[in-house]
Structure 1
Amino acid sequence: MADSTPHKKRRWPLFLVGAVVAVAVLVVGGTAFYINVIKEDAPEEFTLDDPAPGSSAAGSTADGSVDGRWRVGDGSEAGYRVNEVLFGQKTTAAGRTSEVSGTMTIADSAVTEATFEVQMASVRSDEDRRDNQFRGRIMAVDTYPTSQFTLTRPIDLGTVPAGDETRTYQATGTLTMHGTAREVTMDLQARRAGDLIQIVGQIPVTFSDYNIPNPSLPGISTEDHGTMEVSLRFTGVEANE
């Protein structure tokens, strides 16, 4: 009777290749299922609130002076957005926090001073493991607990915006993050509704500019940059002295 051992030996490489392929299919397929079915979608980019129906027609928004000092109020948020590739599947990671404070001073139709500060340890995404990496290895929040933006050039507002009117501006200032300060320009939109001014803006952030380690991990790769996003609701105007 012929010896079948050589034939069995030839089967082993084919079996191993098949096993590797099967595992790869399970990983990629499982990741795709997780991203498309289980994982929550990243929150949408910040946008201005829709005006209340008929608010302008009813005259419920004031068109008077905006001069004074405004403070970041309730409903304000800040966060990040980074594109990821998770085992070959593209996805977006985003974190948010409402622990934001700041002020803005308007005088003679210009923003003369503005600053906001974000408590970094409070930023949360939809994934605890990502948040642990963010607070520890990536952002080192125990050492660098806050990120701040400070306006360095006045913003000319032009004429006083009417109620519910959207305006687009650029804000140049210093962003301090992870212990490093850089000059940045933030594109923003603003809308005034009575005693509320809402501002949404984005600041591109290249990680190496702030000595931030690339967030990539085995099986998870990210771009070398992300976006800092803010939605600031300024209220409680105080008259300039």
Structure 2
Amino acid sequence: MNLSVTSGVRRGMGRFKRHWKLWLVGGIVLVAGGFFGVPWFYIHVLSAAPAQELALNNTAQGSGEAVLLDGTWAVADGSQAGYRVKEILFGQDTTAVGRTGKVTGTVAIAGTKITGGTVTVDMASVKSDKSGRDETFRDELLSVAQFPTATFALTAPVDFGTVPSTGQTVTVKVPGQFTLHGKTNSVTVDLTVQRGNDTLQAQTKIPVAFADYGISKPNIPGITTEDHGDVEVLLTLRKGQ
């Protein structure tokens, strides 16, 4: 073998032996950068930002003359419901959001009080921006084939105090029974209502601890969630004929 080549090889081996720790650390950094960098790039660059929380849009005034509040109001087109859960994807924090417009129900009002009400959400129709997440949500977590709906039912009258005027927004505490994944729990939520001429908008958020409803956290390598989330609801209500 050429002496200069042999000498070069020896010098290279010597440098490697002296600096092997630096090489090892560098390799680990490169691997870690790929492991964490790819999910970061996917979440923050390739994926759309999570949908904003459902909120009143200040368009409830409607048209025509104001109708009386007394009577039964039905959930109408434009209503939405869904979930919001903090998700961890290979060490990167993100938020999973699913929505559906398949919401039904009625609310009864007499004088200054909400005297009754039930709202039902078709959980099988809830979709996020990821089809894989939706399959896990429907099949593994909520078993929608067995428990296809979530329901909130008022358990006691709620008093506005005074009859809201057109355009006015009122927030009240609402007690009810919330059923999800076949489990029912008593809850009290903040309900914000905005009165329009011929519509009502109502918005609320129901905190859900998974264990209270027999829901397991996802069991997917590299992916996990917090042990709780929120069910968000935004209703457009119209008076029954």
TM-score range, shorter chain: 0.7 to 0.9
1:232 corresponds to which residue?
Answer: 235
TM-score under structure 1 normalisation?
0.87
Q: How many residues align?
A: 233
Find the residue that maps to 1:44 and give its secondary structure: coil
The answer on 1:112 being equivalent to 2:115 is yes
1:100 corresponds to which residue?
Answer: 103
The answer on 1:180 being equivalent to 2:217 is no
Task: Give the letter aligned to residue 37 of structure 1.
Answer: V
Whether contact under 8 Å (1:189, 1:200) holds in the other structure is yes
Higher Cα Rg: structure 1 or 2? 2
The structure-2 alpha-carbon separation of the partners of 1:141 and 1:51, relative to structure 1 and needing over 3 Å to count, comes to closer
TM-score under structure 2 normalisation?
0.87
Find the residue that maps to 1:143 and give its secondary structure: coil
Whether contact under 8 Å (1:61, 1:193) holds in the other structure is no
198, 203, 207: which one aligns with 1:200: 203
Whether contact under 8 Å (1:43, 1:94) holds in the other structure is yes
**Post-superposition shift, 1:7?**
7.1
Whether contact under 8 Å (1:216, 1:222) holds in the other structure is no
2:144 corresponds to which residue?
Answer: 141
Distance 2:143 2:32 in 1: 34
**Post-superposition shift, 1:169?**
1.0
Distance 1:108 1:51 in 2: 24
5+ residue gaps, structure 1: none
Distance 1:188 1:110 in 2: 13
**Post-superposition shift, 1:27?**
2.1
Whether contact under 8 Å (1:149, 1:174) holds in the other structure is yes
Whether contact under 8 Å (2:86, 2:95) holds in the other structure is yes
Find the residue that maps to 1:22 and give its secondary structure: helix
Distance 2:230 2:159 in 1: 25
RMSD: 2.5
1:48 corresponds to which residue?
Answer: 56
Spell out structure 1 runs of 4+ moving beyond 3 A: 1-4, 6-21
2:44 corresponds to which residue?
Answer: 36
